[in-house]
Chain A
Amino acid sequence: MAEAGDSVGRSEDENVPTYENVDVNSKIFRVGTFGRLWTEKLRPSDFSFQDGDEEAEDAAFSLDMGITPQTLREIKEICSPDTLKSGTETVQTEIVPAEPILRTLRLRKRRQDYQETLQRDFSDRQNIHASELEGLAAGKKPMDPKYLVPEGEIILSVNVLYPAIFQRFRFTRQHQTLRVLGSQKLTQLRDAICCVSDLQVNGEFGNTPDMVPEFISKDLYKSAFFFFEGVFYNDFRYPECIDLSKTIVDWTKTHDFPPFQSRKMEETLFSDLRLKVGYPYQYCHQGDCEHVVLITDIRIAHQDDCLDMNLYPLLAYKHRVKTRKCSVCHMYISRWITTNDSLAPMDPCLFCEQCFRMLHYDKQGNKLCDFLAYPYVDPGAFN
């Protein structure tokens, strides 16, 4: 009996996340067990979505500590948040005080003063967009209570980084952050990830510009997989999906690797996964478009989160890419890209629909010179 107790104790301890590398990532643990441990340790009122009842709490407090209402009133007065205001603060919180005592304020003043000396005006578009996105879904409640996120539900924050094309993504780690519920399937996350390679249309259409097919790569190549902790989760929802991970698994069998397993994405919930927080994993789709996936945070749902299940997976942050306009008019977003084109100023060159037609085709629709033209999807398509 002691042994059984021990093994349970050890597995419980295993599921309490601790640092494997300090400040970098945690050890492996099962998400569902982690959630259960928290809900067992807390009182239901701690993670409920109702506002706390102050009076009931005060009554319970005075009962537990055995104090008189007079003492309670005194304590409340002493500990109220008003005691934190010294009265000298101004309403204008944007202005840093002239002679700051705090080191943080001194640093901030230096930075602000420096920023004011700069000639260029940094329009803070990334931050504005990010705050708009955050504000969109905060605190939303569904109309139908059936879709209310249950109390004690786990929320995971997932960062999906853009594929490592080094020339373009040299300076920042561009990513999108999605929030998923523990009770959701991996396929729901897969559908919510927006990658521009999903929208691309294949083929050269210089000769037949009107016959651009409607099919996008997302519909054509439906296979994808997630890789978490030695297990490949493949998407087998559609009959045309193939097991992309098979090649990798076969290769590892011939080399000295621990055996990797393969499971179905549509049958796995996030709470069934065993993973490390902060550790990089992979999402691969279209055969070769690979994204690094990081689970940055796992926590119990809070009153102030978005409580509508239909809105999850929720896009919490998306890096905004500059849209590339046509080289001719600089007004419209480019739709065509041409190479080997003698009419174009550079190789390759971007054109919008109208400029492309006007330059390369005459009134009857004949091609005016030799070139190769491909339909182009701008990376900023998701802005």
Chain B
Amino acid sequence: MEYYIGPLKSDCEDILSQFQRTESVRYETFSAIWRKMDFSTIFYGKMSPNEMSTYTRLALTTAYPYFLPPYTFQIRVGGLYLLYGLYHTQLTSPKEKIRIALKDWEDIVKFQKDAVNAQHFDVVYILRKLFTLKAFYFTAMPKMLFFEVKRKPKRDEVCEDFRERPEHVKELIDMETLEEIMNVQQHYEKMKAAISTTLGQKYSGISLIRKDLSLQLRDTVMEYHKWQEKVTKIGPKDADTEAGEGTSEQRECSKRASLLASIKSKSYGQAVQVSRARRHRQVEMDTSGSGTDPGLEVSLRKRPQSLRARTRKNLIGKGDMKEEPQEFTRQWRLTVPEDKVHERPKKKKRFKW
């Protein structure tokens, strides 16, 4: 069942990113997206009752983290709606419950308070409804643990697009602190005026503090907040901002790559005439090789390339001999059965049950 974790996660992120784009927290919006994606079909398929309940549990466990911090409020609302949808559309009976761990309870209570304060009726209604329906298991840990120690520990990757922007600066310098600072400042000035030698003169020679400290603080915080918003809005979409050094480097890379590509395409624009020995074979332009540039190619190959792939790359990339793809010369097979021309000799990887 572990193979379903990846696709489930990507489907959840899919629906939540669509929800995020609508910039609303209304249930109507969410249910419209749900209906469009036909998300309730996620439980379809021929499965025995036992497999179905295991799968449902897996689906609920995968969707649960989106309901908790560090995600933004909108994503958390989307996570709640997603859990509600999955709970109601599941096909097991009796219904599989959503597991809440003790450590997450405080976050959930806080979330409910925020929703009540913001008067999001549908959010509160749905949360309360799930409690009324007894849709929760109150557990120790968010999922059942079987001591599955893996060689490469899989770290739970928080989806960066959904992550809440850290508001530490705002928390540090909030309205109350600013008011306090202003009060203290006024107090200080009064004291200074009271003890100054010349009566009635507020300003003396010594001034140890900034005059409008709280105003400056507030302006700085607002500026930072605006910058943060600008970065998060533009950042993931296109790299043309002052988002840091990474993007400017990327731009240079792409310039160089496009230059190289243009040079290559000019030189390899025409097919090279093959030598007499190989004239019987057709010459075919292989455009796929020149289009890419080794600078841009991100090689994620874990294993070293096979001999076949290396030969192909070297010969086609350099353009010495324009070798066409293997369909035209199969030297290792003298005769080919007619119906199995396109059959690949490699054996497919066997399914792991």
Contact = CB atoms under 8 A, between A and B. Distances in A.
B50 A112 contact: no
Contact of A103 (B11, B85, B119): B11
A174 interface: no
Interface centre among B10, B31, B133, B351 (most CB of A within 10 A): B31
A102 B42 contact: yes
A280 to B, nearest CB: 6
Nearest to B136: A46
B51 interface: yes
B27 A78 contact: yes
A122 to B, nearest CB: 9
Q: Is the interface of A mostly helix, strand, loop or mixed?
A: mixed
A86 B145 contact: no
A296 B140 CA distance: 10
B50 A298 contact: no
Interface stretch (B96-104, B199-207, B232-240, B297-305): B96-104
Contacts, number: 211
Contacts of A83: 27-28, 31, 34-35
Contacts of B53: 131, 134
A19 interface: yes
A163 B134 CA distance: 38
A213 interface: no
A298 B131 contact: no
Contacts of B131: 45-46, 52
Interface string B5-20: 0111011001000000
B48 interface: yes
Interface string A88-130: 1100011111001111111111011010000000001001101
A272 interface: no
Interface residues of A, number: 81
Contacts of B46: 94, 112
Given A23-B148, A277-B140, A75 B122 contact: yes
A281 to B, nearest CB: 10
A38 B136 CA distance: 13
A47 interface: yes
Contacts of A134: 50, 53
Contacts of B37: 101-102
Interface stretch (A61-69, A225-233, A254-262, A375-383): A61-69
Given A83-B35, A100-B41, A102-B37, A298 B140 contact: yes
Interface of B: 3-4, 6-8, 10-11, 14, 27-28, 31, 34-46, 48-51, 53, 85, 88-89, 91, 94-95, 97, 99, 101-103, 105, 116, 119, 121-122, 124-126, 128-129, 131-134, 136-141, 143-149, 153-156, 351
